[in-house]
Chain A
Amino acid sequence: MKKKVLSILLAGTMVLSMTACGGSGSTNETADTAASTEETATEETSTEETATESTDSTTSAGAIRLLNGKPEINDQLKELAELYKTETGAEVTIETIGGDTSAGDELKKMYQGDNMPDIFVIEANQAATWDGMLADLAGEEWTEKTGFELVNDSMGTIGFPYTVEATALGYNADILSKAGVDPSTLTSPAAWQAACEAIDAKKDELGLTAVFAWCAEPTNLGWSSGTHVFGQYLDAGLKADDTTYIDMLNDGGTIDETRMKHFAEFIGMMNQYSDKDHLLVDGTYDEQVAGFKEGKFAFITQGNWCVTSPDDVNFEVGFAPYAFEDGMNTIIAGPPSYWVAYKDGNVDAAKAFFNWCAGDSAQNILVNKAGLVSPFDDCQYEATNPFYKSMKSYIDAGNYSGWHTMLKKDGLQNETCQVFADYAKGSIADADEFVSKISSVIKGFYAE
């Protein structure tokens, strides 16, 4: 008797496991998209859920999926999708990938699983990976309202800019005015040096830990030094469409030694006036931003994403340029990533969605609720971001450079950030050594 029960149980498990194997592959039992939409649009897009989803959405005209790479605006994008549905009746499903999984990596899995979203997020240097697979959006209505779209040589206008971000040296206006420094004069290394000395002298009086909240820790903050700060070498002082130094870099990893030397001297000055005992070498992003918000630092080496709400700070903030050569007066501003439409997906619906996103009701959500900065000229909403005023003054004056740092070879930031860390720690002694080390690292990386 016992044996029989056992055998039935075993047989049962076997049949169950087989059906499970057969079922997960390609079944398509959720017929009703609308009902499953809400659930699938969770942060963790489980493959099984999306597998059932994909085949549905491609069939029903108008329904599209958007893969978002910014977890912090997930809720707002869902709200956007709701509004899109009430206004146009068309369906958009938001799927968010973020945190430690990069959207680019997840997309590869989706591609292998034949489960591509219709709209997804890419960084500029990922366009080559998707060569020939992205839809050309040229001639769309929204392209006339912005100068920030992503244009690719072989595929045309492929990227829809959904936000503009800026990075330079963020400053605390209160501290600067108390120290008697006018941020608009910070356009030469000499002016910076004088300002640093002035602020440093009043450090105790102003309650500062150091002048710069600059963290060169490579393990978790390598993206900051390796991509953003390094980007200043590529772009500071140049017009937005000037690609001189990124072209040189991508041509086998060549650097301009004089420019790099000046940049290195500037970084050396930053190291000198940073919190050498902790933040500079082994701090974290949270400590860096918290310190700046509390007014313990005059400058921060991040961008407009580090202070997103006016409630975060009780002082005025703004951007000052990395003026490592005389007359440099630009900040880096532009879209760090773009939304693109997948060619084999529902391109028409994606185009319609982009056009709608550039319109008033969508911008209202993106700007006012998600805290993004609009890339569109006719947007009537003032971003709530405390850095916005300063950003806008630079953009309006044409004093902004491009995010060309996003075009460097994938993974370079992981190599260069170590050089910044060594320089900060003092194991690279001076600017000359920094130049020779970073040039050998870059050369080696491009030779791989």
Chain B
Amino acid sequence: MKTPSATKRVLSLICLIAGLGLLIWSLALDFSKSEASYRGATLIIGIIGIVAGLYFFPTLKYHRTIINILFLFPLLFAFAVTVIIPLFLGIGYSFTDWDGIRVKNVIGLANYTSMFTQPSFLWSIFLTFLFVVCNMIMVNLVAFLLALLCTSKIKGLGFFRAAYFLPNLIGGIVLGYIWQFIFSNVVTKLFNTQYSMIADTGTAFLAVIIVYIWQYAGYIMLIYITGLNTIPGDVLEASGIDGANKLQTLFEIKIPMIAPTITICTFLTLTSAFKQFDVNLALTNGKGSVDIFGNYLTNGTEMLALNIYNTAVIKNNYALGQAKAVLFFIILACVSILQVRISNKKEVEL
């Protein structure tokens, strides 16, 4: 390696200083609400200057580190702007009375205490857990059976795989409206019922579950297929020679062999069922009535994510919605960590 030349050193320093200067200047223009039309261009040139200056920085020792940071920066920056900063801002907003426009007062924990006095919110939490349990079991069961079907030797395998996966490609909102039509115009005729399933709270909840399974099972099925295909053929062959029947092969060989896949799938279904929003919104919009906790609640099928959305956007209470969202985040984080821990332990035992 050559030692860095003097010209390179000068060039790098000039780039750095000029870049920083331009950057600060254009930011200052921006904050002072200047109308100068060139401030965007100067900002970009400033950033390029800094990057170039860092790139040509005359050092051998830190060159690699600088390059690493430079290349990571865009990703980290985007991650910070879209995830990290909003997360902390959101936590901050949850302690205020923010209405989406301005913050008038900081009200401490009032949002957190008031949300637990809302029977409708407690119902939403309960319903969400119910939905998650139902779905984790049902989606995985259905998906695994479909995967077994799609790894067997039936005709038209490609067609079946594609057909089962297709619903997952349709957005949840569209799916919700399609099924709304099916429930009120097709199912009613088929089973000769007076009303659509969506009109009654209990059956409406069932409807959300059905649509969700229909949408999500194909996706999970694909993962199970991949898992089933990774089982080495010699193991299956050996079990066959030892005289294991089909059920034995399934329970003693296949399922233990794909334990990691099961972990992934339960994790995926768990988190996505928790965050269920679009089908819920489009299919029932949380409507339905329940008599519970000594109250007559009108959000019979409203799950947590939708409850948060309605609190913030429809009821115009952004801060309370934000507080609920923080709680939602905590619940989700706890459940996910717990679940991964438990599943990992099981894998080791196997």
The residues of A with any CB-CB pair to B shorter than 8 Å are 10, 14-15, 17-19, 21-23, 25-29, 31, 55, 59, 102, 104-105, 108, 111-112, 129-130, 217-220, 222, 276-278, 281-282, 409-411, 414-419, 421-422, 425, 427, 437, 440-441, 444, 448
A218/B287 in contact, CB under 8 A: yes
Interface residue from A282, A411, A441 paired with B184 (Cβ < 8 Å): A282
- Chain A residues in 8 Å Cβ range of B288: 418
List, sorted by A's number, 11 A–B pairs whose CB atoms are closer than 8 Å.
A14-B70, A18-B48, A18-B74, A19-B44, A27-B43, A28-B35, A28-B40, A55-B35, A219-B198, A414-B298, A422-B289
The answer, yes or no, to whether B5 is at the interface (CB within 8 Å) is no
Besides A129-B100, A444-B296, 11 more A-B contacts (Cβ < 8 Å) are A14-B73, A22-B47, A23-B40, A28-B37, A219-B285, A276-B194, A282-B199, A410-B315, A418-B288, A422-B289, A441-B296
* Bound form: Cα–Cα A419–B287 in Å: 10
Interface residue from A22, A108, A281 paired with B43 (Cβ < 8 Å): A22
- Chain A residues in 8 Å Cβ range of B196: 281-282
- Chain A residues in 8 Å Cβ range of B200: 425
- Chain A residues in 8 Å Cβ range of B284: 219
- Chain B residues in 8 Å Cβ range of A217: 199
Name the residue of chain B whose CB is nearest to the CB of A100.
B173
Interface centre among B40, B118, B196, B288 (most CB of A within 10 A): B40
- Would you give the shortest CB distance from B317 to chain A, in whole angstroms? 8
Interface string of B92-132 (1 = CB under 8 A from A): 00000001110000000000001000111000000000000
Interface residue from B39, B118, B188 paired with A448 (Cβ < 8 Å): B118
Instruction: Pick the 4 closest A-B CB pairs, nearest first.
Output: A27-B40, A418-B298, A411-B315, A282-B196
Known contacts A22-B43, A108-B100; is A410 also within 8 Å of B289 by CB? Answer: no
Known contacts A15-B51, A220-B285, A427-B289; is A414 also within 8 Å of B310 by CB? Answer: yes
- Chain B residues in 8 Å Cβ range of A282: 184, 188, 195-196, 198-199
- Chain B residues in 8 Å Cβ range of A440: 295-296
Interface residue from A17, A278, A414 paired with B314 (Cβ < 8 Å): A414
- Would you give the shortest CB distance from B102 to chain A, in whole angstroms? 8
Known contacts A129-B316, A414-B298; is A14 also within 8 Å of B74 by CB? Answer: yes
Interface residue from A21, A219, A418 paired with B78 (Cβ < 8 Å): A21
Known contacts A19-B47, A55-B35, A105-B313; is A418 also within 8 Å of B287 by CB? Answer: yes
B289/A26 in contact, CB under 8 A: no
- Chain B residues in 8 Å Cβ range of A18: 47-48, 51, 73-74
- Chain A residues in 8 Å Cβ range of B160: none
* Bound form: Cα–Cα A440–B120 in Å: 13
- Would you give the shortest CB distance from B41 to chain A, in whole angstroms? 8
B48/A410 in contact, CB under 8 A: no
A419/B298 in contact, CB under 8 A: yes
The residues of B with any CB-CB pair to A shorter than 8 Å are 30, 35-37, 39-41, 43-44, 47-48, 51, 70-71, 73-74, 77-78, 81, 99-101, 114, 118-120, 180, 184, 188, 194-196, 198-200, 283-285, 287-289, 295-296, 298-300, 310, 313-316
* Bound form: Cα–Cα A440–B297 in Å: 9
- Chain B residues in 8 Å Cβ range of A437: 296
- Chain B residues in 8 Å Cβ range of A444: 119-120, 295-296
B199/A425 in contact, CB under 8 A: yes
- Chain B residues in 8 Å Cβ range of A421: 199, 287, 289
Interface residue from B194, B199, B298 paired with A441 (Cβ < 8 Å): B298
Interface residue from B40, B48, B300 paired with A26 (Cβ < 8 Å): B40
Interface of A: prevailing SS? helix
A222/B43 in contact, CB under 8 A: no
A415/B47 in contact, CB under 8 A: no
- Chain B residues in 8 Å Cβ range of A31: 37
Interface residue from A281, A410, A427 paired with B316 (Cβ < 8 Å): A410
* Bound form: Cα–Cα A429–B249 in Å: 57
Interface residue from B70, B74, B194 paired with A21 (Cβ < 8 Å): B74
- Chain B residues in 8 Å Cβ range of A222: 285, 287
- Chain A residues in 8 Å Cβ range of B74: 14, 17-18, 21
* Bound form: Cα–Cα A440–B44 in Å: 59
* Bound form: Cα–Cα A218–B283 in Å: 11
Name the residue of chain B whose CB is nearest to the CB of A31.
B37
- Chain A residues in 8 Å Cβ range of B287: 218-219, 222, 417-418, 421
A418/B289 in contact, CB under 8 A: yes
A411/B295 in contact, CB under 8 A: no
- Chain A residues in 8 Å Cβ range of B289: 418-419, 421-422, 427
- Chain B residues in 8 Å Cβ range of A29: 37, 40-41
- Would you give the shortest CB distance from A272 to chain B, in whole angstroms? 16
* Bound form: Cα–Cα A278–B120 in Å: 29
Interface residue from B44, B285, B296, B299 paired with A22 (Cβ < 8 Å): B44
* Bound form: Cα–Cα A21–B51 in Å: 14
B40/A129 in contact, CB under 8 A: no
Interface residue from B39, B81, B199 paired with A281 (Cβ < 8 Å): B199
Name the residue of chain B whose CB is nearest to the CB of A440.
B296
B310/A411 in contact, CB under 8 A: yes
Known contacts A14-B74, A411-B314; is A111 also within 8 Å of B101 by CB? Answer: yes
Interface residue from B44, B180, B315 paired with A23 (Cβ < 8 Å): B44
Name the residue of chain B whose CB is nearest to the CB of A17.
B74
- Chain B residues in 8 Å Cβ range of A25: 30, 43
* Bound form: Cα–Cα A10–B74 in Å: 12
- Chain A residues in 8 Å Cβ range of B119: 444
- Chain A residues in 8 Å Cβ range of B47: 18-19, 22
